[in-house]
Structure 1
Amino acid sequence: MPIPTRGDLKIGEQPRTPQGVRQDRELLTGIAEEMRRARNHMVGFPVNLDFDHQDLAPFLAVHGNNVGSPDEPSEYHLHSKQFERCVVEFFADLAGIPAGDAFGYVTSGGTESNLYGLYLGRERHPDAVLYASVAAHYSIPKIARLLRVDHVAVDVHRDGTIDLSALRAAIASHPARAALVVVTVGTTGAGAVDDLPGVGRTLAEAGVRRRHVHVDGAFGGLLAALAPRRRPWAFDAGADSIAISGHKMIGSPMPCGIVLARQHDVERIRVPGVAVGSDDDTIGGSRDVLAPILLWRELRRLGRQGLADRVRDCLRTADYATERLRASGARPSHLAGTNTVLFDAPHQSICERWNLLHVKGRAHLITMPHVTREHVDRLCAEITASSLDVGPVKP
């Protein structure tokens, strides 16, 4: 269907006529169908499209609000905090923190989760300098400005992981100040995983006792936790707070995430009873009711083993994609234990058709749960046809 223009979507002063309401319904139905069809070529972004929650539509007919603390009741009774607590409990167990010591909630996505973790760190150590690699998520410099903390971008190795020698030198430039360090587990560029235990050793060797280490595991946290070869990423390896995505490996129709921290750190920011009868210890206060339900249902359906099987399948598809792209002459590179494959960017039309991000001539293929070998084969066929100039390949 034609893409609607701003004029088509403009909201008027008068109520819509019945005919206009029908037209709007047809417009929305058409756009939804276009988005569903686009799933067949969505291989370049770290988002999982392998879900269907249409049977939960009744929740769209009521206003729910998880206002205030997930651990406290509020005076607003239409909520899903019981589901939110179960989701947090699952991830707290996965991250190796006892349930009684853990605090967490379902956020609007990775940026809010990162903001929350770094906010806790800033409140623990108001004089802290924020250290993060140059490959860290784009939200990190923005959060530094929001929190008004000094930010140092640390160089990385060729594989995209933080350079511990550069981190040590950066810390030495700010003696006597606390350190707020972001460890990225799954960079957006190549899926690289920073050395969390190595960061802890670096801080200890530099004599930094006042520290807060936040792990941005939005992209790679579940890969690190559930891959056949587990990577250090959580509290037992030195994290003080952790961000995990809900719409990536698990899947959701809206962005969402989970943030985890220790209860005694959250007590620094908690204001009792002010959020319509509930404690205020989240960023947003009023929060989405549907996201915890969607996450709970998927985690309940899959279980920990099913999620691990999903991770394994994604990694196997990445290995397969690397082989097929190499055979297509696209010069792929792939870090072991990640589901990101970089390769020479094909023609712009192919990048657009397959939703491929590309930077400096290299495209990103990310094998999320909905990406199959059949997707890889069709993409490689188009790349080969383009290089041979034999005309378009049938979708």
Structure 2
Amino acid sequence: MSTVEDRSASVLAHSLRHGLRLGDNPFVLPAGGVDDGRRRAILTTLTDHFAAKLRVLQGSRSDRGVDYQADLGVLLNFPFAYIGDPFEESDFAPYLKAVEREVVDYFARLWHAGPRSDDVTDKDAYWGYVLTMGSSEGILYALWAARDHLSGKSLVSDVDDHGSPVWMWVQDTPPDGAENAYSPVAFHSADSHYSISKALRVLGIPTFYEVGSERYPEANPLAPGQPWPTEAPCQGGAFGSGRVDVGKLVALVEFFAGKGHPILLVLNYFTSFKGAYDDVEEICARLRPVFARHGLDRRAVRHGLDANGGDLTDERTGYWVHVDGAMGGMSAAFLRRAAEQGRAVERDADGRPLRFPRFDFEVPEVCSIVSSGHKYTESPWPSGILLTKRGLHMTPHCQPDATSVGDTTFGGSRSALVPIALWDFLASNSEQDQVDQAVHVWERAREVERTLRELGPEWDVRRNAWSPMVWFRKPPQEIVNECWLLTAELREAAETREYACFNAAMHTGPERLARLVERMAQATPEPPRSNAPNAPARRADGHGPVRRLAMVPLHRRCL
């Protein structure tokens, strides 16, 4: 390697260790490109950097279960792109569609979805596809479908001005005396991933906070006369478990259902920081009579006139329950089997066994589920699964001339390698293998919790039942950086506390825990901070020309 190349590699290594600074960025792309030797040196140093970081996470652990480089490396030389509904046959990449269908069918089986059927009137048959952008893509798609389902839209066959058949979106008008019938209101908890709030803003779906503050400012059912909460409260507030407060959620939903609004409810199945799950089964059981009482269990939506001038109607629900299983959706089915086999048991404070929480299509109110694949399979590409029911799938088959294939997914082009990587993982790991892995992760999480608790109560170590996430008061920043910890600021009215999180998922080796314990034993937690009161002049209170729409949770970290 030349002196220039040596210097480039050295600068790159220094930059990666200490952060890039203006003037020494080795990744600058000049008009003439980068010479081959320097380019290879940069890639080699990047590889070494990533390998070192991975060793911090994995230590000596070598049970990854699949070697993506060996299995899929040759495919990187093919210019793969992918488009279209996985269940619509085409001559373009038919094998890729077959791979994707098998992956989707695998999770449909795990999540107890209705089987695929050739009967187009079977509304409970599942529909779904493999996501290229992770669960955030699936959340956008699911909430888009929910918005149109709840707002009285329908997709119908029609003819254009030349008599040719076309698909047409149509909108029903609210029945007399039911002005809110097609004005859905969204609910999600204060511990939901920030992507939920982002998707609602992108899609223009108002939350209960926005609608309540604007239309019913004095009617907050949780505290009459007081401002509405920005999100559904969680048990114990910001410093609590992260599980939604079921009683308060039901009260909020009851209020808006009573005003005739359709309900769009997003529930969590393992949050990204606290590893909390909302009790989907209990929540839906509590809401079932609420929906029936207010006519949201089934209602007629008009979409045209028959030959005699009578209404053509479609019967659908006035609610949509979406489960964000980004963190736990894939592993949960296997941990549940372990619980049924008696290999994993969680207990309440009185020592009684806890039931494993159901979250999937066994709960009849569940309309859609998403889960991230890369968090579970350790694949090098973002991935995920979206599942819903065919009767709720309202996206039209657009057929652009360039592809001649129906595209019912959220984006256009998708990664062809993502379904193959998911298939490769599932083919390499039997369902019993994954049960064993789930037990291993669960046992490791309990070990992490137990070990960190021994450091003393000042660390406030916590773990939710069944969760791989252990969270505790934040240690000094150098420990956070060294041990690759996720951190978050949790805020109550008067105080902000910083916490860190250790994810005991499959990519964690024992050396990481040992190093963390050693470092924390010589440290003290970051102290809490007092919150300064909001400046009234900066607050849009809803009574002037500017009104508050939704809180943007910038303090919540990505994962």
TM-score (structure 1 length as normaliser)? 0.90
Correspondence for 1:365 among 498, 502, 505: 502
Partner of 2:26: 8
Q: How big is the shift at 1:270?
A: 2.6
| Cα displacement string for residues 147-180 of structure 1 (whole angstroms, at most 9, x for unaligned residues) | 1111132111132111222222322442211111
- Contact 1:325–1:331 (CA<8 Å) still a contact in 2? no
- Contact 1:343–1:364 (CA<8 Å) still a contact in 2? yes
Does residue 185 in structure 1 map to residue 269 in structure 2?
yes
Gaps of 5+ in 2: 1-12, 117-124, 152-182, 209-230, 298-317, 340-355, 489-496, 525-559
Q: Residues of 1 paired with 2:43 and 2:145: CA distance?
A: 41
Partner of 2:193: 137
Q: Residues of 2 paired with 1:331 and 1:263: CA distance?
A: 46
Q: Which amino acid aligns with 2:282?
A: G
Bigger Cα displacement from structure 2, 185-194 vs 72-81: 72-81
- SS of the residue corresponding to residue 161 of structure 1 reads coil
| Cα displacement string for residues 81-113 of structure 1 (whole angstroms, at most 9, x for unaligned residues) | 221111101100000013311111111201011
Q: How big is the shift at 1:223?
A: 3.8
Q: How big is the shift at 1:214?
A: 0.6
Q: Could you say what the CA RMSD is over the residues aligned between the two structures, in angstroms?
A: 2.1
Does residue 273 in structure 1 map to residue 422 in structure 2?
no
Residue 364 and residue 180 in structure 1: after superposition, are their counterparts in 2 closer, same or farther (change >3 A)?
Answer: same
> What aligned pairs does 1:60-209 form with structure 2 within 5 A after superposition?
60-74=76-90, 76-77=92-93, 80-100=96-116, 101-107=125-131, 108-126=133-151, 127-152=183-208, 153-158=231-236, 159-174=241-256, 175-207=259-291, 208-209=296-297
Correspondence for 2:444 among 308, 317, 326: 317
Q: Residues of 1 paired with 2:110 and 2:440: CA distance?
A: 19
Q: Residues of 2 paired with 1:27 and 1:49: CA distance?
A: 27
Q: Residues of 2 paired with 1:49 and 1:325: CA distance?
A: 26
- SS of the residue corresponding to residue 361 of structure 1 reads strand
TM-score (structure 2 length as normaliser)? 0.65
Q: Residues of 2 paired with 1:349 and 1:265: CA distance?
A: 49
Gaps of 5+ in 1: 388-395
- Contact 1:64–1:78 (CA<8 Å) still a contact in 2? no
Bigger Cα displacement from structure 2, 355-364 vs 101-110: 355-364
> Percentage identity across aligned positions?
27
- Contact 1:223–1:337 (CA<8 Å) still a contact in 2? no
- Contact 1:358–1:364 (CA<8 Å) still a contact in 2? yes
Partner of 2:409: 282
Does residue 235 in structure 1 map to residue 313 in structure 2?
no
Partner of 2:430: 303
Q: How big is the shift at 1:234?
A: 0.2
Q: Residues of 2 paired with 1:49 and 1:129: CA distance?
A: 43
Correspondence for 2:54 among 39, 44, 52: 39
- SS of the residue corresponding to residue 2 of structure 1 reads helix
| Cα displacement string for residues 254-275 of structure 1 (whole angstroms, at most 9, x for unaligned residues) | 2111100112221x21325337
Q: Residues of 1 paired with 2:509 and 2:197: CA distance?
A: 35
- Contact 1:214–1:241 (CA<8 Å) still a contact in 2? yes
Q: How big is the shift at 1:121?
A: 0.9
- Contact 2:186–2:207 (CA<8 Å) still a contact in 1? yes
- Contact 1:320–1:373 (CA<8 Å) still a contact in 2? no
Q: Residues of 1 paired with 2:67 and 2:275: CA distance?
A: 27
